[in-house]
Amino acid sequence: MKYEQKIKHPKDDVDDKLHELCIAEIGEEYRVLWQSDDGGNHVCVYFEEQVPKKAKQILRSPFMGWRLIKVIVPAGYLAVFYPLNEKK
């Protein structure tokens, strides 16, 4: 049985497109992180408290050839664990 090879876009292009969509279309606090598990690499988009309705419509898996997982975290989680401006 032959499987069709999926085309995966470069990670930088996927990051750019996700940031573009999240900023222009969704407008909620988010973070884009790359993770891996038994199935390989995937991209995660983190949202606080709930996934916005617009994100459910726009962000589908697979996204540009990659598995996309939407992760819900508690309020304040992103600022504490993934701050936008890290202090040095």
> Which residues of the chain have a pLDDT value below 50?
none
pTM: 0.85
Give the integer Cα–Cα distance in Å for 72 and 50.
6
Q: What is the pLDDT of residue 20?
A: 93
Q: What is the pLDDT of residue 6?
A: 78
CA angle 78, 58, 68 (to 5 degrees): 60
Name the residue with tokens 């573009």. Answer: 20
**Which residue ranges form the domains of the chain, and what is each CATH number?**
11-81 (3.30.70)
Q: What is the pLDDT of residue 5?
A: 73
Name the residue with tokens 């884009």. Answer: 32
Q: What is the pLDDT of residue 27?
A: 86
Q: What is the pLDDT of residue 39?
A: 85
Q: What is the pLDDT of residue 66?
A: 93
